[in-house]
Structure 1
Amino acid sequence: MRRTVPTPTRKPRRPKGQGQWAMGHREPLNKNEQSKKDDNPLNVRQRIEGIYSVRGFDSIDPADLRGRFRWWGLYTQRKPGIAGGKTGILEEEELDDKYFMMRVRMDGGQLNLAQLRTVADISKDFGRDTADVTDRQNVQYHWIRVEDVPEIWRRLEAVGLDTQEACGDCPRVVLGSPVAGVSKDEVIDPTEQIQAIHDRFVGDRSLSNLPRKFKSSIGWLPDNPYETNDISLIGAEHPEHGPGFDIWVGGGLSTNPMFAQRLGVWVAQEDIEEVWVNVVRIFRDWGYRRLRTRARLKFLVKDWGAEKFREVLESEAYLGRKLPDLDAPPVPEKLLDHIGIHEQTDGNYYIGVAPVVGRVSGTLLGQLADVAEKYGSDRVRTTALQKLLLLDVPADRVEDAVADLEAIGLSARPSQWRRATMACTGIQFCKLAIVDTKDRARDLVAELEKRVPELDVPISIHVNGCPNACARTQTADIGLKGQLVTVDGEQVEGFQVHLGGGHAAAASLGRKSRGLKVASAELGDYVERLTRRYLSARSEGETFAQWVHRADEEEFK
């Protein structure tokens, strides 16, 4: 009689550790984590000043060049002439040029006249007159040589600016309302708290090794994309405690887009810094570090949920106290772009102008400083929609100021196309990009102004060079994600199309129709066709996004 041999019972596999420090997982699980453990990235400044700027680009340690430099706002830019099809094939060192992109931090988007002139002069002296206003309220240079970095830092820091932690796995620039302190609709101005966060925590070595980047927004008004940040504090009235802030955590786009979740608590103005830093500490301690693709706070919030996140935030390890409950406040109708002429609380006016897709120059910024000085303003603001604001213009001089701004290419009364189009850096400088964005978006705006001048409502177009959504592709009316498409058997630059995204009351990640792609050369035809279908089919008061969400997919081809 044959004996039956029992099948051995397999022990269930233990789930892989995610590198969470709070669970004791301190050993680095990838090269990025190893690099940060080997040396605090903030230390690279001394090597830039003492070695690399003296000996030149070829002396830079690769671990510094492609890692730690970012904590001081520096990325190598893309070598000219490398086609988009090579982006995912070549090694990073093959894509590297010997020049840098440099980001200047502008927390809250605030600049005085001395700062604006310094930013402009650096662009002209060291950056071949390049300057982009980003959708993170920064100004970004290109063509920066490592030899010039110490002098650039000296000039910036002399006027109260810096590049520290403008990039890297750390708390990046804090977005703020560009009209904080002057808007008639603002109840609380948190500028002091934003500045305190910068002064106290930027460069804090206990926070300089996060799992990935950490993006923040703090402001009373809905003029920043609060649903897509790691933390956002937006103005809210509590029935007992009065004006304060509603807190959202865990937003982010890129290849796994997620909107932030409300924690359901009320934050007093004086508690902003304490709440902010403890959310950062939770991310530092509990964030996933094993896979870079899952190392953003949004993945932790998704797994935990808002209730558990709040519980941990209020625990003894972090805040150590309860925050007041807050029912969901009214949802803002839309994000404010502040374009045009608006009265301030003091009777003066601010003027919002639209550079074309955020691309400016040192020369233009210098001209803007001249206009500001002429009209007695010492305050210019950048916005998270790649726009610029001039504050404190006397009522009787507004139209003259508007004319002077128009003369230098900054329109306070732009077309709807110019007003609502944004673009990321694109293949000209970015090593991740597949297609051109800035020039293509600029040309698209010009095309559409001629083809559909009658457009009477904004239709936002966000042009992105790759899947990483730096231009917030998924939350645009028309989001364009760069990729190669096949036309007549050849691969050419093109875009995958997202439709009907939005923020605030229109919050949506948009629709993706299967196979909906368009070649870059055909973009003008496509957007014109789509716009005319919307204009002919819309009902009274219906927005483009609302039409998209009820229309048949055939309308999108």
Structure 2
Amino acid sequence: MALTRIAPPAKRDEGQWAFDEARTPLNGNEQMKQDADGLSVRHRIETIYAREGFASIPGDDLRGRMRWWGLYTQRKPGIDGGKTATLEPEELEDEYFMLRVRVDGGALDLTQLRTVAQISTEFGRDTADITDRQNIQLHWVRVEDVPEIWRRLEGVGLSTQEACGDVPRVILGSPVAGIAADEIIDGTPAVHAIAERYIGDPEFSNLPRKFKTAISGSPHQDVAHEINDVAFIGVVHPELGAGFDLWVGGALSTNPMLGKRLGTFVSLERIPEVWAGVAGIFRDYGYRRLRTRARLKFLMADWGPELFREVLETEYLGYALPDGPEPPPPPTGRRDHVGVHPQNDGRFYVGTAPTVGRVSGTLLARVADLAEAAGSDRVRLTTEQKIVVLDVAAEKVDDLVEALEDEGLFVRSASTFRRGTIACTGIEFCKLAIVETKARAARIIGELEDRLPTFDQPIRINVNGCPNSCARIQTADIGLKGVLAGDEEGYQVHLGGGLGLTSGLGHSLRGLRVPSSELPDYIERVVTHYDEQREEGELFAQWVQRADEEDLR
């Protein structure tokens, strides 16, 4: 295939390695990665920084390579959002770290869960957040404690390796893989194979930017596949049986794009090599000149799925993938796995809704105790910041539900607002944030439960502290992006986004910025209009498309 099909002469140099044998660094981030692989920082953390303290860490490691091992400096307390864009990094950051524990497929056994809980209480001031990437994030971690934390995590089969950085991030998997009664195919073997073969491999430790993966054989498509760099979604081929449909090039942030189907059918055993092919294309052809254009979505936007598939098959796989069917729309209803649901073995899984993913080490240890008392040895985290306890015998279900709800982890009594609201880290810890998120989202939930106690339609409210969309604001029914509104924190509103049945990006209304103090009033008003005007079976995102603008303000 002629290279000019990919990079026509009229295009400016995008810093693609495929066309530059010297791999010339075109910005500071690329220079940092070329000077030393991000994975190499572990040795310096263990032998120098943990012994000599925070002041001993040079900038390229502190704000660069340490991310390859799940470490970000956290925001110094007391710095308001108006200073986020004006202060230098060293002025914003505290001498403590956020530590991200990668949980591929969201799967934890109770020994692992208790280990994370103990690390949280002993080293992280009892902090813990379940993210919408199925990770657990801890805060207040000192560099002096990191080697001991790694020792404990790795002793139970967990890691922080490549939890952040320009690398393959955590692999999303269906929280009910292998046990759901309606599963098409279990993608767990592929999750394990990719993690074992490729995470930590220097071949993929210097990508243009982050690379996100999702694998689910659930008909509910419960891994947000449309907004991952590469995703494999369960389908049934009329001749080849159960396998996966391949999607590439999804991502949000300030320039959101949904992934594109390549039209191929991928068998379970071929997922790892196809994954490596897609990651290899990103490594070699991804744009490295500007960080703002370095995600795979921009390459896909320029190439299109047909050319991308051709390059994947001819240059990276060496064989043609069979054409495959498009996955059918997911069933109607919720797919957050909250509640009590049958497994394929006669037992049940019990999904519970922590408020916007905010938990603690103490609470995680309690979940482990309750799961064990119910006869379970494993839990799963979800992309909706929820916890699912697997393998519960029928006679143990009611006791487990009651005990979880006593801890504030709602199962059967979870309101639609508690089930449907997620939030990013926000200004409490994040150096990029402009506004507070976790506590504010919790207050919004409480207000809406009091004001609209009978409202029970599915609705997603995603709260984000900055434009980067860690909480997926563009794919929410109501997405709230933190902005400054005069002297008060406020939010730009995105309406009518969705994944699955209503897959698409929401839109913002011109000039609409809601002060934080008015958010409960605004959401109550819009939700009430929807409830009054909706047709039978009409989802919020569908109503938004036909609603009068005044009813959306």
- With the shorter chain as reference, the TM-score category is over 0.9
How many residues align? The count is: 541
Alignment partner, residue 10 of structure 1: none
User: Which residue identity is paired with 1:197?
Assistant: I
Name the counterpart of 2:482. Answer: 482
Correspondence list, 1:393-432, <5 A: 393-413=392-412, 414-432=414-432
**Which among 22, 25, 38 is matched to residue 35 of structure 2?**
38
SS at match of 2:242: strand
The whole-number CA distance in structure 2 between the counterparts of 1:285 and 1:481 is: 34
Aligned with residue 515 of structure 2, among 512, 516, 519: 519
Could you list the per-position Cα deviations for residues 287-344 of structure 1 after superposition, in whole angstroms to 9, with x for gaps in the alignment? 00000000000000000000000000001x3000000011323222466111100011
Match of 1:204 among 201, 205, 211: 201
Give a deviation string over 1:54-108, Cα, whole Å, max 9, x none.
0000000111000000000000000000000000111111111000000001000
Native 8 Å contact 1:333 1:506 kept in 2: no
Contact 1:36/1:209, CA 8 A, preserved across alignment: yes
State which structure, 1 or 2, has the greater radius of gyration over its C-alpha atoms: 1
Report SS of the residue matched to 2:111: helix
Are 2:234 and 1:220 equivalent residues in the alignment?
no
For the residue of structure 2 that corresponds to 1:458, the secondary structure is coil
Deviation of the 1:554 alpha carbon: 1.1
CA distance in 1, matches of 2:101, 2:306: 36
Partner of 1:372: 371
In the alignment, does 2:269 pair up with 1:252?
no
Q: 1:117 aligns with which of 114, 117, 126?
A: 114
| 1:492 to 2:488 alignment | yes
> 2: distance between equivalents of 1:177 and 1:14?
43
Say which SS state the counterpart of residue 246 (structure 1) adopts.
strand
1:468 maps to: 468
8 Å contact from structure 2 (residues 234, 327) kept in 1: no
Measure how far apart 1:15 and its partner are. Answer: 4.4
Match of 1:508, SS? coil
Q: Please report how far the alpha carbon of residue 510 of structure 1 lies from its aligned counterpart in structure 2 after TM superposition.
A: 1.0
Local SS of the residue matching 1:49: helix
SS in 2 for 1:36: helix
Paired AA for residue 101 in structure 2: V
User: TM-score by structure 1 length?
Assistant: 0.96
Given residue 229 of structure 2, which amino acid in structure 1 is its aligned partner?
D
Residue 65 of structure 2 corresponds to residue 68 of structure 1: yes
Task: Note the C-alpha offset of 1:14.
Answer: 6.3
Q: Which residue of 1 aligns with 2:328?
A: 330
Supply the AA of the counterpart residue of 2:502.
A
**Residues 501, 507 of structure 1: 8 Å contact kept:** yes
Q: Which residue of 2 aligns with 1:314?
A: 313
What code does the residue aligned with 1:516 have?
L
Q: Is the 8 A contact 2:179 2:343 kept in 1?
A: yes
SS for the counterpart of 1:166 is coil
* Aligned residue number for residue 9 of structure 1: none
Amino acid at match of 1:428: E
Taking the aligned partners of 1:14 and 1:307, their CA distance within structure 2 comes to: 21
Is the 8 Å Cα contact of residues 235 and 325 (structure 2) preserved in structure 1?
Answer: no
Conserved? CA contact 2:102–2:135, under 8 Å: yes
> Which secondary structure does the structure 1 equivalent of 2:234 belong to?
strand
Distance 1:160 1:401 in 2: 27
Distance (whole Å) between structure 2 residues aligned to residue 185 and residue 257 of structure 1 = 32
Matched residue SS, 2:203:
coil
Task: Quote the residue 1:280 is aligned against.
Answer: 279
Matched with 1:360 is: 359
Counterpart Cα distance in 1 of 2:243 and 2:10: 44
For residue 177 of structure 2, the aligned residue among 177, 180, 191 is: 180
Q: Give the TM-score normalised by structure 2.
A: 0.97
> 1:102 maps to which residue?
99
The equivalent residue for 2:457 is 457
Q: Which amino acid aligns with 1:435?
A: V
Which residue pairs with 2:346 in the alignment? 347
TM-superposition CA deviations, 1:520-545 (whole Å, max 9, x none): 01111111111111111112221111
Residues 259-301 of structure 1, C-alpha deviation per residue, up to 9 Å, x if partnerless?
0000000001110101001100000000000000000000000
Is the deviation greater in 66-75 or in 24-33?
24-33
Instruction: Give me the whole-angstrom Cα distance separating, in 1, the residues matched to 2:37 and 2:507.
Output: 42
Deviation at 1:448, TM superposition (A): 0.6
In 2: Cα distance, 1:103 partner to 1:131 partner:
10
Match of 2:232, as an amino acid? L
> 2: distance between equivalents of 1:242 and 1:345?
20
**Structure 2 spans left out of the alignment, 5+ residues:** 1-8
Tell me the secondary structure at the aligned position of residue 497 of structure 2.
strand
What does residue 268 of structure 2 align with?
A: 269
Q: Which moved more, 1:358-367 or 1:544-553?
A: 544-553
Distance 1:283 1:14 in 2: 21
Alpha-carbon distance between aligned partners in 2 of 1:332 and 1:533, rounded to the nearest angstrom: 26
Instruction: Give secondary structure in 2 for the equivalent of 1:502.
Output: coil
Q: 1:439 to 1:469 in 2, by over 3 A?
A: same
Name the CA distance, whole Å, in 2 between partners of 1:188 and 1:325: 18
In structure 2, give the amino acid aligned to 1:461.
Answer: I
Look up the SS of the partner of 2:215 in the other structure. strand
Structure 1: gaps (5+ residues)? 1-12
1:143 maps to 2:140: yes
Q: What CA distance in whole angstroms lies between the structure 2 residues aligned with 1:112 and 1:539?
A: 44
2:15 aligned counterpart, secondary structure: coil
Q: 1:182 is matched by which residue type in structure 2? A: I
SS in 1 for 2:128: strand
- CA-atom RMSD in angstroms: 1.1
Of 38-47 and 14-23, more deviation after overlay is shown by: 14-23
SS at match of 1:203: coil
Confirm whether residue 538 of structure 1 aligns to residue 534 of structure 2. Answer: yes
* Conserved? CA contact 1:53–1:148, under 8 Å: yes
1:19 to 9, 15, 19: 15
Residues 105, 188 of structure 2: 8 Å contact kept: yes
Conserved? CA contact 2:263–2:326, under 8 Å? yes
More off after superposition, 203-212 vs 190-199: 190-199
In structure 1, what is the Cα distance between the partners aligned to 2:97 and 2:14? 33
Q: Which residue of 1 aligns with 2:3?
A: none
- Range with greater deviation from structure 2 (161-170 or 88-97): 88-97
1-structure distance, mates of 2:405, 2:286: 47
Contact 1:178 1:381 in 2 (8 A): yes
- Write the distance in 2 (CA, Å) between the matches of 1:284 and 1:146: 31
Q: Deviations over 1:453-482 (max 9, x none)?
A: 111112110000000000000000000000
Question: Match for 1:314: what amino acid?
Answer: E
Greater Cα shift, 351-360 or 23-32: 23-32
Counterparts of 1:476 and 1:202, CA distance in 2 = 31
CA distance in 2, matches of 1:48, 1:148: 10
- Which residue does the alignment assign to 2:497? 501
Residue type of the alignment partner of 1:548: V
* 1:181 Cα deviation from its structure 2 partner: 0.8
